[in-house]
Structure 1
Amino acid sequence: MDKRRTNLRQQKSLVLEEVTQSLGLGRDSLKFTDSMRFETAGDGGFATEYSDLDKEVIGLLYHPEMAVGPNKVKHVLKDILSNN
């Protein structure tokens, strides 16, 4: 990270983004503007904390009943969401 070309808020945002990606949420979103995963070239914003949506997605990803594999996730996800 180039500290000379980024301010403290941008640095915090970049660290949060890297930590989030290491948790398994690797794609940015153009749909949810309050998410820290929202990214456009000209948005001018750098999220420094998770939105409620980000927290929910991370919670689902690490839910104890979450399964691995695309064929299993859809079924388990429906069960998790229906119980909450």
Structure 2
Amino acid sequence: MARSRMPRPRQLIFAFYMSCLMSFLMSGVITMINTGVEGPFLQRWLAAWLVAWAVAYPLVVFIAPLAGRLTEATLRRFGASDTPE
């Protein structure tokens, strides 16, 4: 049975920035599409972003390692890899 590792500081900092930027941009686009930019757009966007970030940060912490493994498996499958041999 594989033992789970605690995330390293670099992983947590990466997850913080990635989740902030992605949730900020995605919530802005989705808020604009759903409600337009009229009225208190900025308040709606920031409220949506806080919820999105609260979900995004823990997901990035736990999903980034899986995404890395899937990337490596895909590259191996198609004979391409950026890892030195």
Q: TM-score normalized by structure 1?
A: 0.31
Q: TM-score normalized by structure 2?
A: 0.31
| Higher RCO (C-alpha 8 Å, min separation 6) | 2
- Higher helix share goes to which structure? 2
